[in-house]
Structure 1
Amino acid sequence: MLRTNGARSRLGCLSCRRRKKKCDEVKPTCAACLRNDLRCVWPDPSPPAKGSGVGSTLQQQAASNATPVPASNAWALASSSAHRNLPVATIPASLSPLSVPGSVLAGAETWRLLDHYLKDTANRLTCLQDSANPFLHTLLPVALGDELLMNTILALSGVHLMQRLPELNSDLQSLTWSSYTIALKQLRIALPAAFDQGSSVDAAWRALLVVLIFYLLEATRGNDPKAMQSHLEGAHHLMAYVKNSNITPTQPSIVSFATDLYIYNAALASFTTNCPPTSIMLPSTWTISSSAPSPEIGVLCGCAHELFTLAPMVSALLWEESSQVSSPTSSDQTFTNKYHDLRAQIEEWKPRSEQEELVLCAQLYQQSLLLLLDSRFARESSQECIDQAFQGLESLLSQLPPTSPIATTATWPVFVFGVYAQNPHQKELTRTYLRDLVRVFGMGVMEAALNQLEEVWAAEPGQIVPSRFFTNEHELLMLC
């Protein structure tokens, strides 16, 4: 909350204190640090009572294993989250030191990666924060007894830490890639059991969750779209299996959590191939109740689940229309009818939430899907559609700060608008917002999206820009 009086605060970030500037105390990144492109570092809070929660346990264990490492900046970077109400007693205090089977390193390096996951990575991935975050309260307790899941978490945390600190020391980098390699090998061993008709369906859900975390890991790296696509194809196969299974899973929270991740990633990836997109599959056990939704629903999708299930339909219509040029199969009237029907569904969508920022981000997706349709099929001129859409975008972005947790999912719709940006103001609007997202969340895919837009904007009219975001000059290829 912004302070309105003139008194100097003792709670400001260290960067503002060092520069003797007034800090608005907005965490994790204050406005001054965002504006000046500075690393926003916060002082450690008063030490919590012994045994009060995960953060204190980790700090005690880290202190007992303390060794001088060049990556000490990682602790300062993560300290802005140390005050948060992390889930209590998620990690038993008896784990001293943590030693993950299959990892080449244990002790201090492992704790540093796990601590970064707890304090930074987990809360950068989702709009549900801290004790409400299923990356913490659902995934982590299971991972403590599961070598595959733990290695996957360590790899994800390490990749995110490397995005934050490219100069990360070699031991932590080695642990990151060793954990990733071991997890991939363990997943290959686990997959036959996941598809075994005689095994528990929990094995398939476990494999699905791991594959989706691998997808998030590659999105955090932001430089290997083929790996992302491979992981998503695996997720489609696993979801098809669990959807058709009549076995009730023993962990409903894992089902809701994994399904939410799947819907989000499958929806956006529906624009990534030059063939008809795969429709989103939902298991029979997964439902959304407006009165009592599962706490694991909304991890990435926020309140926009229905919009995400419509995204592949938009992609399919765009693909069908662009393919008709070389192989006419449908009349113009058929496309027009499909367009109006699909547009009506998107425009009539209503959010199932009273949280303002969740609704704003959902509306951002709504408007980006409408822009994709209207720019291709509307009777109005393309330029008129774009100008109207950008008026709505400017209003939405002015109300949705890039520091909001749900803004971690805003890359794709902002990128869509950036593709259609025509004038300097429209380009700067999307450029500034994406820059802020890169600073706040540290995800490689956000930086890749921004770099791609710069290439598109710099291209000559009619020039085709080789890109991971386009399969051709008409079709979006967004990996997010």
Structure 2
Amino acid sequence: MRPMPIIRSRTGCFTCRRRKKKCNEEKPICIGCKRNKLECHWPTEPNQVLHARPKPSTSSSAAAKVASGQTVAASSSSSSQPTLASVGPNAPPQLMLNINSPARSRSDSSPDAALNVSPRTIFTNPRPRALSNSSSHDAIDVGIPLHLHEAPDAGHLASSPIIELISPSLLDDKHAVMDEDDLASPSSSSGNLAMTLRSQLLQGADAGMWGIAPTISMLPSQGNESLELLSHYLSRTANSMGNGSTDVNPFVSQLVPIAFSNPLVLQLILAQSASHRQASGGEIQGNEVAQKYYTDSLRMFRNVVDEYMSGKEENTLDLTIGSLILSLTEVARGDKRGTIFDHLKASESMLTLLINRPQSEVPSDLADFLVEYYLHMTAASMISTDPRHKVPSLSPEVEAMARSLVEKGYIGQLAGCWLELLLIIPQIFHLGQRMMASEHNGKTIPNPDDIMTFGFLQSQIMAYFPDPAANPYSRLAGLVFKQATLLYLWSILGTPTKQDAAADAAEPKTGSHKSFITMAVAEAISILSQFPATLRINTSLCWPLAVIGCCTTDPDVQSILRERLRTMLTTIGLGNMRETLTLLEHVWAQPAEDMSPWLLARSMQEHRIWISFA
């Protein structure tokens, strides 16, 4: 049986403890506070709160009693609970996690109030290394476990797994991303973290043995369900959103620390986790929970928008991050109503404002991630737009920053190593719009400028080759994107099946256009065969799979795409994978002459499926 830890008494005023100064314990104002003209805050008197606090004059004997378990059981009354001051950094995890002590309901006075501690003061910086290296006195007195203030030793880490929630071990390059084959495996480090969180925070049995009601210290304003969703986000959702192209997952390293100081971002992350859990079939009642969190997050987002419209410009970052998270939440939900396009429109205007702000206001790595986030979502969603409808070009500021990322060899969790191809996709779309607008009797009649643009874009795509610094799976995915982007460009001129149907049956067309498209499809399928559909990199492949599927009538190729999407849905569990397959099934059921990436929006309209392929 594990021995009870030795717990030292904590005496003196809160102000001296925070300053790590010796306190002479003179009340109501100690000498240190009087000399420095500081407010002297003292713990609530024992007779007002709890009876387990040792007296200052008998600290050594009281510590011995606590070590033997006598102090915790000092009162047999059901209302008697140990104070936060009576537990130390080596206390059992059940005691460390209870920061919502009963003192809160008995007295308005609390260490948190005395020190004005809020989540923002703890989680503002994404890097835990920069957190205040407070002493164990402060960590206990303000109700925050010691391991949130300083990196614990290996022994304490093993006994308090919740440290990994925002610890360097989670944000570090070596542990931020799960192994490719371990995405859905409960044996992975992130999977173990989720199970540990659930067992430590949500099971009342262990807490009950200490006489402490099970509470959620990390999310004091949330219910038990929120901790489950946060655990699911860390173990599954964050990994499903990113494709594993980098060692650090910004969905954890960037967004999670922000979420702890920002109620909107936290609510949006929980809603995204609930939607992903429901889409992947995690729980029987998952749909009801997902809808509740989704509705609450939209309501909170609208409130922040209203504040921004009333002049609260500091909400720019919140709204930028919020609109982008909502975009991927729609992807996780498999939204078919086109709601994602509203979020993308909002995110572009907010991101443009954010980019124009001084660099000191937004960390460069966060700004890079947001630009990648937006470009990935926009490029993959553009194919869903009817070419007959006018779509604005990318914001010049966003495009310029994206090009600077390409120049420095940026590799991301969403755009992988093919960011430059994502910049070409909007140009192809606008070229297709112009060329289709000049159609006469079903034939495209391009003008000289369009011909030059077509050749320029083709040369750019052909010149693309994945960055050797990227991991092998990311490079393979980049080559799949290359073939799909070529198909998207070449299909402006029509597809082989459409051309064959229009040609004389006695003289079928066998030109280079048909050969190029057939070879591009075959090359893409060959590359796909080199890595399994269970890998995280497949998260980013809905767009190229949709384009390839619209350019082939070969039943064998269609079967390969069908099985890959089914496997992706089973292992990664994003709703848009299911809807991508549903849409392709509708496309394959159409006459061959109606199959084209440029007619995909028409199929969406007919079957009332408006999705993004992000």
TM-score (norm 1): 0.73
- Give the drift of 1:390: 2.0
Query: What is the aligned partner in structure 2 of residue 79 from structure 1?
Result: 186
Query: What is the aligned partner in structure 2 of residue 334 from structure 1?
Result: 449
Give the counterpart letter for 2:343 in structure 1: H
Retained in 2: the 8 A contact 1:158–1:176? yes
Aligned mates of 2:284, 2:599 — CA distance in 1: 27
Query: What is the aligned partner in structure 2 of residue 319 from structure 1?
Result: 433
Rg: which structure is higher? 2
- Give the drift of 1:137: 1.4
Aligned mates of 2:317, 2:511 — CA distance in 1: 46
Query: What is the aligned partner in structure 2 of residue 433 from structure 1?
Result: 564
Quick check: 1:479 aligned with 2:598? no
SS at match of 1:471: helix
Retained in 1: the 8 A contact 2:480–2:544? yes
SS at match of 1:402: coil
- Give the drift of 1:345: 1.0
Give the counterpart letter for 1:199 in structure 2: E
Query: What is the aligned partner in structure 2 of residue 369 from structure 1?
Result: 485
Aligned mates of 1:285, 1:321 — CA distance in 2: 29
Higher mean alpha-carbon deviation, 239-248 vs 182-191, is at 239-248
**In the alignment, which of 206, 219, 227 is matched to residue 331 of structure 2?**
219
Moved over 6 A (4+): 84-87, 195-198, 289-292, 326-330
Query: What is the aligned partner in structure 2 of residue 13 from structure 1?
Result: none
Retained in 2: the 8 A contact 1:208–1:239? yes
Give the counterpart letter for 1:51 in structure 2: S
Retained in 2: the 8 A contact 1:50–1:56? no
Change (3 A) 1:356 1:173: same
Deviations 1:156-202 (A, max 9, x none): 11111111227532xx54443333222222222223555687734xx
Quick check: 1:252 aligned with 2:364? yes
Aligned mates of 1:166, 1:436 — CA distance in 2: 16
RMSD after superposition? 3.9
- Give the drift of 1:377: 3.7
Aligned mates of 1:130, 1:292 — CA distance in 2: 13
Change (3 A) 1:113 1:472: closer
Aligned mates of 1:473, 1:210 — CA distance in 2: 27
SS at match of 1:271: helix
Aligned mates of 1:384, 1:289 — CA distance in 2: 31
TM-score (norm 2): 0.58
Aligned mates of 2:192, 2:405 — CA distance in 1: 27
Deviations 1:105-137 (A, max 9, x none): x02x22211111111111011123897111111
Aligned mates of 2:590, 2:240 — CA distance in 1: 33
Change (3 A) 1:258 1:86: farther
Query: What is the aligned partner in structure 2 of residue 208 from structure 1?
Result: 320
**In the alignment, which of 459, 465, 479 is matched to residue 344 of structure 1?**
459
- Give the drift of 1:82: 4.1
Alignment of 1:398-413 (within 5 A): 398-413=529-544
Retained in 2: the 8 A contact 1:271–1:277? no
**In the alignment, which of 307, 312, 325 is matched to residue 421 of structure 2?**
307
Quick check: 1:97 aligned with 2:216? yes
Alignment of 1:158-237 (within 5 A): 158-165=274-281, 167-169=283-285, 173-194=287-308, 199-200=313-314, 203-237=315-349
Change (3 A) 1:250 1:363: same
Contiguous gaps of at least 5 residues in structure 1: 1-46, 59-75
Matched residues, percent identical?
A: 23
Give the counterpart letter for 2:612 in structure 1: L
Retained in 1: the 8 A contact 2:335–2:610? no
Higher mean alpha-carbon deviation, 420-429 vs 143-152, is at 420-429
Quick check: 1:288 aligned with 2:405? yes
Change (3 A) 1:404 1:464: closer
Change (3 A) 1:395 1:131: closer
SS at match of 2:159: coil
Contiguous gaps of at least 5 residues in structure 2: 1-155, 168-182, 202-213, 495-509
How many residues in Structure 1 have an aligned counterpart in Structure 2?
Answer: 403
Aligned mates of 1:446, 1:225 — CA distance in 2: 15
Retained in 2: the 8 A contact 1:128–1:405? yes
Aligned mates of 1:117, 1:468 — CA distance in 2: 36
